[in-house]
Amino acid sequence: MQDLINNTPTRIPRPEHNFSRQNMSQAALHVLYQLHKAGYQAFLVGGGVRDVLLGRAPKDFDVVTNALPEQVKGLFRNCRLIGRRFVLAHVRLNKEIVEVATFRAHHNKGGGGVMEEGRIVRDNVYGSSVLEDVWRRDLTINALYYDISDFSLLDYANGIADLYAGIIRLIGEPKLRYQEDPVRMLRTVRFAAKLGFTIAPQTAEPIPDLCGLLANIPPARLFEEVLKLFLSGHAVQSFMQLRHYHLFKQLFPYTDACLDEPIALALIERVVHDTDERIGNNKPVTSGFLLAALLWPPLSRLLPDKPVKNFNQQEVLLEAAQHILLKQQEHVAIPRRIAVLMQEIWLLQLRLTRQRRGKKKNFSLLKHPRFRAGYDFLILRANAGEDQVINEVDWWTSFLNSNESSCEDLLSQRSVLNKKRKHQRKYKKVKTEEELGN
Ligand code: ATP
Ligand code: MG
């Protein structure tokens, strides 16, 4: 077994590294000091250390200690113990939450973890030292510990060398580490995408063979990972890497099956690009919009190609939407409120393109709480190459920018257009699965 962990860490004293307390949140610093003052060991670990060393702003600060969760709770007024897989202490200071974890033992040391087919399902046995804790870290660059007792950095797994060489490397034997927790495959890809690092060949190699193990992970946990992959400013890279390692198919199988269609692929490439751009410009992004786009290609496949008598278009769309959402939930659980937003965006596609509208209806659509999302979605479709919606995008764009007289002109154009379409209004029921070849 390839063992990357050194029993004696490289200790980098404060003068030899550039990790400064000034780059740390006041809340995290306070937690570290309080633990130390109470006689416990306390370290900052994970993204907080990694990102500061790279000159980036960390997303959050994670603390590890030899204090047990109850002991941590005893030290802080605003502390809550939480835990699904592990018991963790959340210390709230001002508006910030600092996550404090107790060292954990390696799952097969001292009868530690509960395993199922090589997967760790519980590992709540506490370890006594930071050396044991290294085993529960995924990547070498995520296993750097900042020691509050002397401000030094502890490196057990050559993380510093990998950090400065830009390498994503799993600690230990990659196949076993992925089997213990298949989400590590997504984390490997996520950090490569986020940092622009190269995945070490041994770390990359098992992923395409093992990606099916993600089927054993609760869909709710995968939803959290999907948000981190796609809503952190590196969605373009995440999408490329996920596809490259066959992981995208595990998360969104119905979308993946559509990616041989150029328009479907262009739509996803656009939405991930636009999401990154908005985050880069500090504009808000919503998971509902992104997911509505991710599932639009398989949803469109369910819709009939030609209008058919006696079926209401809206009902057909809703039926198809509910079908695709239900199927998708088996892989990635989408919370209800987000699914509702997705359906609203999809339904607006009909209202923005097909409905016959008088003046009043056009104006009332502008007041729809999701109008902007629906309109942006229509633009996205046009940009991806859905030529049939280009005229509608132009019309709505002119309408939104119109003054009183040009607005009247646009409305009269619309009523001519709608008369032409009147006969097309009835749509066939949703396609059956056999028709789709699924
Ligand atoms: P970021 O917060 O920027 O997403 P991070 O590295 O801090 O990155 P977290 O999810 O906050 O990631 O986790 C904190 C640390 O816990 C990680 O750096 C890693 O050491 C460890 N960790 C988290 N999840 C896993 C996992 N599934 N397997 C092994 N170690 C993990
Ligand atoms: Mg973190």
Q: Of all residues in the chain, what percent are helix, strand and coil, respectively (each to 5)?
A: 55, 10, 35
136 CB within 6 A, ligand 1: yes
DSSP string, 257-269: TTTTSHHHHHHHH
Q: Tell me, using a 6 A CB cutoff, whether residue 421 lines ligand 1.
A: no
Q: How far is the CA of 400 from the centre of ligand 1 (A)?
A: 45
pLDDT tens track for 383-406: 999 998 898 888 888 878 876 666
182 is a domain residue: no
> 234 CB under 6 A from ligand 1?
no
Q: Which atom of ligand 1 is nearest to the CA of 58?
A: 3
For atom 18 of ligand 1, the residue with the nearest CA is 46
Are 352 and 380 part of one and the same domain? yes
Question: Taking a C-beta distance cutoff of 8 angstroms, is the pair 341, 288 a contact?
Answer: yes
The tally of domains found in the chain comes to: 3
Same domain, 103 and 157: yes
| 123 C-beta closer than 6 A to ligand 1 | no
Pocket test for ligand 1, best of 54, 142, 155, 231 (most atoms within 8 A of CB): 142
Q: Are residues 406 and 390 located together in one domain of the fold?
A: no
CA of 233 relative to ligand 1 center, distance in Å:
18
Residue 202 covered by a domain: no
What mean pLDDT do residues 191-199 have? 98
Q: Tell me what the mean pLDDT of segment 71-77 comes to.
A: 95
* Structural domain that includes position 55: 10-172
Confidence tier at 146 by pLDDT (50, 70, 90): very high
Q: Which of 47, 52, 44 is nearest to 19 (CA)?
A: 52
**Strand pairing category for 119-122 and 10-12:** unpaired
Confidence of residue 425 (pLDDT cuts 50, 70, 90): very low
Task: Classify residue 352: in a domain, yes or no.
Answer: yes
Question: How far does the centroid of ligand 1 lie from the alpha carbon of residue 184, in Å?
Answer: 9
Query: Which residues are the active-site residues?
Result: 60, 62, 138
Q: What is the reported pLDDT for 360?
A: 64
Indicate the pLDDT class of residue 410, thresholds 50, 70 and 90: low
Helix, coil or strand: residue 155:
strand
Per-position DSSP letters for 384-418, written without gaps between them: HT-GGGHHHHHHHHHHHH--HHHHHHHHHHHHHHH
> Same domain for 409 and 377?
no
In a domain, 278, yes or no: yes
pLDDT band at 292 (very low <50, low <70, confident <90, very high): very high
CB of 184 sitting under 6 A from ligand 1: yes
CATH number of the domain at 17, please: 3.30.460.10
Task: Give the global pTM.
Answer: 0.88
Which one of the ligands is nearest to 144 CA? 1
Q: Any idea what DSSP says for residue 86?
A: S
* Same domain membership, residue 352 and residue 226: yes
Q: What is the pLDDT of residue 424?
A: 45
3-state secondary structure of 32: helix
Same domain, 238 and 314: yes
Mean pLDDT check: name the lowest of 12-16, 84-88, 294-298: 84-88
Residue 200 lies in a domain: no
Task: For residues 73-96, give the mean pLDDT.
Answer: 90
| Helices then strands, each counted (H, E), the chain | 23, 12
Contacts of 19 (CB under 8 A, 6+ apart): 49, 52, 53, 146, 151, 153
Q: Is residue 205 part of a domain?
A: no
Q: Is the domain of 387 the same as that of 411?
A: no
Compute, in angstroms, the gap from residue 371 CA to the centroid of ligand 2.
35
**Token pair belonging to 12:** 């980098």
Does the C-beta of 140 come closer than 6 Å to ligand 1? no
Task: Return the best residue to mutate from 44, 104, 136, 138 for the ligand 1 pocket (most ligand atoms within 8 A of CB).
Answer: 138
pLDDT 10s digits, 331-347: 999 999 999 999 999 99
Task: Mark whether 359 and 429 lie in a shared domain.
Answer: no
Band (62; pLDDT cuts 50, 70, 90)? very high
Give yes or no: residues 437 and 353 share one domain.
no
Spacing, Cα 245 to ligand 2 middle (Å): 24
CB distance 46 to ligand 1 below 6 Å: yes
Residues 99 and 67 in one domain: yes
* Claim to verify: residue 167 and residue 292 sit in the same structural domain: no
